[in-house]
Structure 1
Amino acid sequence: MDLAFALGVAVVFWWALVLIWLLVRIESKGPGIFAQERVGKDGRPFICYKFRTMKSGTANLSTHEVSASSVTRLGAVLRKLKLDELPQIINIFRNEISLVGPRPCLPVQRDLVDARRRLGVLALKPGISGLAQVNGIDMRDPETLARWDARYLALQSLLLDLKIILATALGSGNGDRVAN
């Protein structure tokens, strides 16, 4: 399912990916694609790709620790529509991420990494969307997030994944919110 989705996006929406990349580059200085190290399956690091939604030079912190003023106008739209996540098809092709799973965190988010390790969540491949996200849980509270990720681990099924994908497409959850 992951590869079919990634291939479908690449083949059908390649023009939209190029257009978004171009618009990001035009709106503000810096690269169109943002690459950041994240924690993957079994705690292994990988580089996660997204369309850049923040001004160049923004501190490399967890989203909830970054000021809302760092988000560009286009970036706010991309984040709201979740289009900033589309370059993660690269990560799907590289078998580093799934459509559904725990959202990958930064290596510096030690409390979350430790909680996920303790609850067995790191056995899962991270996802572009997850059960916690569609229920409005973000990375501000590592313990709560890890418990929701563990709930996903316990309940994981194709039907649940389809429900999460549908909820994501319909706009459930707020994604990772920036600081005010």
Structure 2
Amino acid sequence: MSTTESTRVSRARRALDVVVAAVALVLSAPVVVAAAVAIRTTSPGPVLFRQERVGAGGRPFTILKLRTMTSGGEGLDITMGRDPRVTRVGALLRRTSLDELPQLLNVLRGEMTLVGPRPETVALARRYPSGCRWVLEATPGLTGPAQIRMRDSRVLEPPLAAVSSAPAPDPETWYLEHVVPRRVDLDAGYLCAPSLSRTVALLLETAVYLLHPQ
């Protein structure tokens, strides 16, 4: 798939973004405040996590999340299962996706949309397989086909080496070679025809998943 008009957010989708994000921010404000208090009282560091991600047309923007890791922790650009950097409160926020709520501000700013591809880090985007790079032209989404159907952190786990003496696969290389193509294939199905009805359907599917995670 190549970069086309379908990777851009239509006026109808943008209107939906603004209305839903504004309402969701108001309704979720008490939850965000409670989460902020929990973060500050259990782990030193800021409440918000800010990181440069790749936005529409490959332009970088600063994504906002509730901080779920130890402040200043260095490591991989992907989060593995049982990642030691994740705090106890952070693990709960990740499990319930509450850490994503500040991204509603990114949606209001037009840096993200409600439904679209996963917002990738700049470092990993530079290493994307050539056949997958087109997806970086699209506006990244708060949710999307790949985020819904590949949420389990185990999809990021490289397989154990068949021989114990063999070196384990590099997690980021595994992610780029095996996970990214699968995610892009899922996103392509939506981006080829990102109608308002399909957008609403994916939002409803996301809500069902969050209420009844598998």
TM-score relative to the length of structure 2: 0.72
Alpha-carbon deviation of 1:66?
A: 8.0
- Which residue does 1:148 correspond to in 2? 186
Give, in whole Å, the separation in 2 of the partners of 1:42 and 1:113: 17
| 1:35 match: secondary structure | strand
- Which residue does 1:85 correspond to in 2? 100
Give, in whole Å, the separation in 2 of the partners of 1:64 and 1:16: 24
2:128 maps to 1:112? yes
Amino acid corresponding to residue 126 of structure 1 in structure 2: P
Structure index of larger Rg? 2
Q: Which runs of 5+ in 1 are unaligned?
A: 175-180
Give, in whole Å, the separation in 2 of the partners of 1:21 and 1:164: 28
RMSD of the alignment, in Å?
Answer: 2.3
Please say which of residues 104-113 and 40-49 is displaced more in the overlay. Answer: 104-113
CA displacement, residues 30-79 of structure 1 (integer Å, 9 cap, x when unaligned) = 11000000001000000000000111122253223586221111111111
Give 1:4-153 correspondences, 5 Å limit.
Answer: 4-59=19-74, 61-64=76-79, 68-109=83-124, 110-112=126-128, 114-117=130-133, 120-136=134-150, 140=175, 141-153=179-191
Give, in whole Å, the separation in 2 of the partners of 1:132 and 1:167: 12
TM-score relative to the length of structure 1: 0.84
| 1:34 match: secondary structure | strand
Give, in whole Å, the separation in 1 of the partners of 2:93 and 2:106: 19
